[in-house]
């Protein structure tokens, strides 16, 4: 039988007194000190059956919060079919938050941590290959930080071949108007694919010569 939230938290607190329950509307959750993060996750894996790391993400509480960034780990027990959420504050600064990498415990953390680094700018110390995974190298922003505007920031898309041949940096891709809609019940997948209500950019762009 899987342990209840109180039982699991109590068991962790016996070994790690600084562990505390975390408010949660779904799965059991705990807040843990950054210094004990790796030891606590290893204990959850080896002593409590949470053998699968399903996600690594983060929370940005916005500038002025202390801590501003919190790293969040979702673990799953394939034996007990239960989840636990583990949160820990990032150290460092608001501009350069850090937290230890858990790739030594779960190799699958590699891509999870790269995505969190890419979106939040959190450095996972000890990661074997920490680089952007969605945005290109040299992209100057972190899209999931609070200060990043919802509409995005127009940024030139780097294209080495275009720059080398023309000397002109590629222009940013246009943002077509939403919302995006799809035809319900349509069996033709091409026609059923979601498209923007405002297709004026597609209609007005210069068509290539035949």
The sign of the torsion formed by the CA atoms of 37, 39, 40, 41 equals positive
CA distance 76 to 110: 17
**What is the count of structural domains for the chain?**
2
Q: Would you say 102 and 73 are in contact if contact means Cβ atoms under 8 Å apart?
A: yes
Indicate whether 150 belongs to any domain: no
Supply the mean pLDDT for the chain: 84
> Does 20 share its domain with 118?
yes
Here the CATH number for the domain that contains residue 10 is 3.30.460.80
Q: Minimum mean pLDDT among 79-88, 154-163, 177-186: which range?
A: 177-186
Residue 126 contacts residue 119 (beta carbons within 8 Å): no
pLDDT in tens, 125-181: 999 999 999 998 889 999 999 999 888 888 877 766 656 655 555 555 555 555 555
Same domain assignment for residues 17 and 81? yes
Q: 99 and 16 in one domain?
A: yes
Helix (H, G, I), strand (E, B) or coil at 161: helix
Model confidence over 3-17: pLDDT tens digits?
Answer: 445 689 999 999 999
Instruction: Specify whether 165 is located in the same domain as 112.
Output: no
Which residues have CB under 8 Å from 153's CB, separation 6+? 141
Instruction: Express each pLDDT in 98-114 by its tens digit.
Output: 999 999 999 999 999 99
Q: Which residue range forms the structural domain that includes residue 167?
A: 160-204
Residue at which a domain ends, from 101, 125, 149: 125
Mean pLDDT of 205-210: 51
Axis-axis angle for helices 37-47, 5-15 (nearest 10): 120
């Amino acid at each position: 039988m899987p342990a209840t939230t109180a039982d699991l938290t109590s068991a962790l607190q016996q070994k790690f007194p600084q562990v505390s329950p975390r408010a949660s509307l779904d799965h059991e959750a705990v807040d843990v000190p950054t210094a004990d993060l790796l030891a606590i996750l290893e204990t959850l894996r080896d002593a409590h059956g949470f053998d699968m790391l399903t996600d690594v993400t983060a929370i940005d509480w916005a500038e002025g919060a202390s801590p501003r960034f919190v790293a969040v780990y979702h673990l799953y027990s394939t034996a007990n079919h239960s989840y636990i959420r583990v949160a820990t504050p990032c150290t460092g600064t608001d501009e350069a938050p850090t937290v230890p990498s858990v790739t030594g415990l779960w190799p699958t953390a590699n891509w999870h941590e790269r995505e969190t680094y890419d979106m939040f700018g959190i450095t996972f110390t000890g990661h074997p290959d920490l680089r952007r995974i969605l945005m290109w190298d040299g992209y100057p922003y972190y899209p999931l930080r609070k200060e990043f505007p919802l509409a995005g920031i127009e940024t030139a898309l780097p294209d080495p071949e275009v720059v080398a041949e023309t000397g002109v940096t590629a222009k940013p891709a246009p943002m077509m108007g939403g919302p995006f809609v799809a035809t319900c019940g349509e069996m033709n997948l091409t026609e059923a694919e979601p498209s923007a209500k405002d297709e004026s950019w597609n209609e007005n762009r210069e068509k290539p010569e035949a």
